Structures are given as C-alpha cells and as structure tokens.
Structure 1
Amino acid sequence: MSENISIKTLNGYGTTLAAVINFPEGFDASRTYPAIVVSHPGGGVKEQAAGLYAGKLAEHGFVTVAYDASFQGASTGEPRQLENPHIRTEDVSAVVDYLTTLGYVDSDRIGAMGICAGAGYTANAAINDPRIKAVGTVSLVNIGQMFRNGWTNDVADADAAPLLAMGAEARTTDVQDKDNPFPLAPMREEDAPNEELRQAWEYYHTPRCEHPNAPGFMTARSLSQIITYDAFHKAEAFLTQPLLVIAGSEAGSRWMSDDLFARAASKDKSLHVVEGSNHMELYDGEREVAEAVSKLAPFFADKL
C-alpha cells in the first residue's frame, strides 16, 4: 500500500517535495513502525531506483518514503533541474521532519538510505542530523568527488577548475534567460566512455527505466556548488550511526564507497560487495537489487 504525499520543506527556498509513502503489509495506524527515507540518484526521480528500494523495504515491515528532490521531478522550485548538493542534503532531513509528525512512526527509529548521489546526500544528512539512526548506501557517489576527480578517481582536484569556470559562466548567462543544461549521465549512447556508463544512458533514456520527469541533466550553474562539495565532510567526527555500505565489485565508483567506509567515525559499520555487479546494475538488476535488499532489510531491522 502506498500514497502520494507532499512535504513542505523549511530549507529557505520554499520548496515542496512530491513523495510516495509506502506501508508494510497489514499496516495498522494505531501501532508505531520504524521508517526509512530513500533518496534517488542525481538525475533520477522517485519512480525509478529509489521507489524500487522503498517498495521492497516496505515489504520487510518499514514505513518508507521515496521523494523527488527540490527543483526536480514533481517537486516544486525554480530553476528546474537545479542540483544544489546542500539543498539535496537538506531534503533528506526535511523528510525526517515530516516523519516525526506521523503518529504511526517511531521518531527514535528513523533510518535513511540512498542510491548513487542520493547515498552521498544521505551520508551528509546523517553527519548533520542525529535523528537519522542508521545509514545505508548503494552504489554510493560523493557528487563533489565525482565531478572533481572523475568516475574512477584519476583527476586531480585542481584540474576541475574549468568546471568551476563553466558553472560561473552559466550563472552569468542564466540571468540573461539562457538555457544551460549539463549532463548527469550520457545523453547519447555514443557519448558513453565505457559499458558501465553506457548503461547509465540506457537506464535514463530507454524503456529500461526512463521517466518523463527525469531528463538526465542538471543546470550548469549547479557546478558552482558541486565542485567544492564533500558529502563526507566531518564524517570522521560526526558520522557515528550504524552504517552499511553496498557496492558492486565491478563499479568504477567503488572507490567512493571505500572512502566513506574508511572515513566514517561509526564503530558499527560494514561493507558488502555484490560480486559481478557494476554501478548501474544495483539500480534495477533483479539479482543485484535482491542481494542488496537482503542485506539492507536485516540491517535496518537490527539497528532501528
């Protein structure tokens, strides 16, 4: 059972999040349940990987919420497709705010997970927000690291300076009403540098999982916030919650999962590697998602 809901944020931008809340089988509003916030990848929407994981976790007894980020999907906010990582992190806590208002949610048993950039934002939210009692990540991407250092960590920080310049130029032309899209995944199959990122194109731009609310790009001005952003900032001090990191053995992004795992202060943390899986297969691959959920569900059941 699920319902479409709206969540008003207090992020200072006045956005309202479009979300879906999922209930476990036999839901009884007179009881209290643990809850999980599920955050989508950069460029994604709640109807894709986040909704898939949220639905499957609800089958294990959790109230779950998958939502569209501010400025994206069916959520409000201008400019459209803004990917401001600080606001995306705040969105996670805005959903926690909402969950604390529900009589059937135990406010001391709220966890959060995300996929790709949504996992990075989830980690950042948990660093800032101790109401999040347990953290799960799948195919984690720290969006700042990815844009600074490349998909496989082979670019030096300083070499990302041209992207900062691009973001600044986009801000200048934005005020002249110019359109400045910047791809978050390859927009054309021929743009993909490898098979893993070809699958990213396939996921967002073919019937595999395309959705009209997920165009696959962000505003170029977003680079101004992304390049200097670190989703793991102060994880060494403040990411103390139980942590489960799930990554594919063949994922080019694996290094970011390893980095969070190493940096997190949590004394209760584990890393699960899905053998044979790349980054994208953990979005919707039947075997890969089943394995991830088989780890996430007991983790959250134990920690919440």
Structure 2
Amino acid sequence: MGDSIDIKTFNGYGTTLSAVINFPPEFQESQTYPAIVVSHPGGGVKEQTAGLYARRLAESGFVTVAYDASFQGASSGTPRQLENPHIRTEDVSAVVDYLTTLDYVDNERIGAMGICAGAGYTANAAINDPRIKAVGTVSMVNIGQMFRNGWADDVKDADAAPVLAMGAQARTTDAAGKENAFPLAPLHEQDAPNEELRQAWEYYHTPRCEHPNAPGFMTTRSLSQIITYDAFHKAEAFLTQPLLLIAGSAAGSKWMSDDLYKRAASRNKSFHVVEGANHMSLYDGKKEVAEAVGELGPFFTSHL
C-alpha cells in the first residue's frame, strides 16, 4: 500500500486533496522517477479503480498518485459531492503541482491517466497543462457529452435544455437551504436502463467495490456546469502529447473515446480496444485490467 498524503490546491476554493502516493519497487529517494496522476470516475474515490490502476502502474516503475476530487471522498470543500468539471480538471493539475515539489520526481516525466469521467478530466487537464507529458485513458467519459447526449449519443445538444434547467433550479433551492442530489450511477438496481449500467450500480452499491466515501451521486447544481462543458475543448489545437485511449469493444461509452481520438492534435495517438469488455469491466475485471495495464505501462515507459 502507498502512503497517505494531503495536497493543497490553488484553485481559489481552498480545497485540500486527500491522496495516496505509491512508489516503484526498490524505490530510493535519492533517485528520480517518472510520475503518473490517476483520476477516479465521477462518483468514485481513490480506494476504488483509480487506486487499483495507481498501484499496478507503480509496479511498472512509476511514482503514482490517486486522489479524491475536491468536495468528494476524504478531500475538503463544501458543498459535499459537488461535481464541478472545471475544478475536477484543475485537481489534476494540482496533483502535478505537488509532484513538482518532490526531489525524486522528474518534472519533465509527469504523465496522467484516468478512468471514466476522470479520463475526460485528464484529457482536459492535458489540453490546459503542457507539464503533462503523456496521457492515458480507460473507459473515458466526457461528462459534458454524456449528460448532454446520453450514454448512447442519441440526444441532441439542444434537447438537453431541460437538464440544464434542472441544474439552474437546484441552485435556487440550494440558496433556500435545501440540498439536491442527482445520481452519477444508478442508485438502485431497478433504476438501471441496461446491463452495463446495472453493473455500475453493482460496482458502487454492493460489496463488489462499494466504499462509504462514494455515495454515487452529485449535487444537482453540478448540472449547470456539466451540460455546457466539453472535456475535449480545443483538443484540436493543444492536445499534442502522446495519447493512449483504452475502451471495451462492448462499452456504450466508447463513442466518446472515438471522438477524442479523432479530435486530438497528438501526432502519436493510439486506441487499444479490449475485446468483449464493457465500460465497467475495465474498472476491476482481473483480465481486463491486466490487459489495460499491459498497454499503459509500456506506453508511459516509452513517453516519460
């Protein structure tokens, strides 16, 4: 297991990130190492899939950090469970800030990866922050696209206006002292519209991977930032870092990885499809995670 650390952010909200730092085998503080920031899915925490990937990548020779987003998990900030995508993106760079203060991290060899919405935030952070030298994604979700266009990309942007209005109304009721919660994954098995999202319920709300810090919902007011957010904004100009996208062949979310692959300016970009995997099996499936790490490890070794 890694060491628990706290990371102060400079995002203007004064949050402190609760994180775990993992070290390579036979780590020596007198040496320098490449490092990777690992970002969790929407509704998740560092003890779940992000922590799993962070530990596995540390075994491949990297210093890795998995962390809880601002306002979530064991990190500070109110309102609790705020999913502001701009701050989530900033959190990635806040971890990079921290890594640059460590003598044993080579500042020119810092990469980032994420799972689900954490992958979209990672891509957005890399667009904004050229200190991130290589980018990996697993089961990527561009949270703005997902909430605008649906899990299967079957809703037009303009038709998401009622969801935007829901977020705005939640701000009004929040101001009156009433809290609003909106599910990031099905809160009950019967709420799941398909088997893939039933597995999302299973992941977050059964012993498969439930955690007391991961309630599976966000503040409804978050929708007012999410609906107009594009994690890939200006990828055509500024996402120039080496890029590895990983998605399951059976993932309903795969279209978002397809979109970034098409839009990214990176001259060195690749897309690894895990045959038979869906969105959720890449979170914790033994075979699927092994295949993903088997691609991510050599990718980051080559580019960091």
TM-score (norm 2): 1.00
Q: Tell me which residue corresponds to 1:47.
A: 47
Tell me the distance in 2 between the aligned counterparts of 1:43 and 1:150.
17
Tell me the distance in 1 between the aligned counterparts of 2:155 and 2:238.
28
**Unpaired runs of 5+ in structure 2?**
none
Q: Tell me which residue corresponds to 1:289.
A: 289
Aligned residues: 304
Tell me the distance in 1 between the aligned counterparts of 2:118 and 2:260.
14
Q: Tell me which residue corresponds to 1:35.
A: 35
The question of 1:264 aligning with 2:264 is answered: yes
Q: Tell me which residue corresponds to 2:244.
A: 244
The question of 1:2 aligning with 2:2 is answered: yes
Partner letter of residue 157 of structure 2? D
Q: Tell me which residue corresponds to 1:114.
A: 114
Tell me the distance in 2 between the aligned counterparts of 1:162 and 1:214.
27
Tell me the distance in 1 between the aligned counterparts of 2:290 and 2:101.
31
**Unpaired runs of 5+ in structure 1?**
none
Q: Tell me which residue corresponds to 1:274.
A: 274
Q: Tell me which residue corresponds to 2:64.
A: 64
Runs of 4 or more above 3 Å deviation: none
Tell me the distance in 2 between the aligned counterparts of 1:144 and 1:98.
27
Q: 1:26-80 deviations in whole A, cap 9, x for unaligned?
A: 0000000000000000000000000000000000000000000000000000000
Deviation at residue 179 of structure 1 after TM alignment: 1.7
Q: How does 1:1-304 map to 2 (within 5 A)?
A: 1-304=1-304
Partner letter of residue 68 of structure 1? D
Tell me the distance in 2 between the aligned counterparts of 1:292 and 1:153.
25
Tell me the distance in 2 between the aligned counterparts of 1:179 and 1:206.
25
- Tell me, what secondary structure is at the counterpart of 2:134? strand
Tell me the distance in 2 between the aligned counterparts of 1:209 and 1:2.
19
Partner letter of residue 17 of structure 1? L
Tell me the distance in 1 between the aligned counterparts of 2:24 and 2:253.
32
Tell me the distance in 2 between the aligned counterparts of 1:170 and 1:246.
35
TM-score (norm 1): 1.00
Deviation at residue 2 of structure 1 after TM alignment: 1.3
Deviation at residue 205 of structure 1 after TM alignment: 0.2
Tell me the distance in 1 between the aligned counterparts of 2:113 and 2:161.
31
RMSD: 0.4
Partner letter of residue 173 of structure 2? T
Tell me the distance in 2 between the aligned counterparts of 1:178 and 1:53.
37
Deviation at residue 177 of structure 1 after TM alignment: 1.4
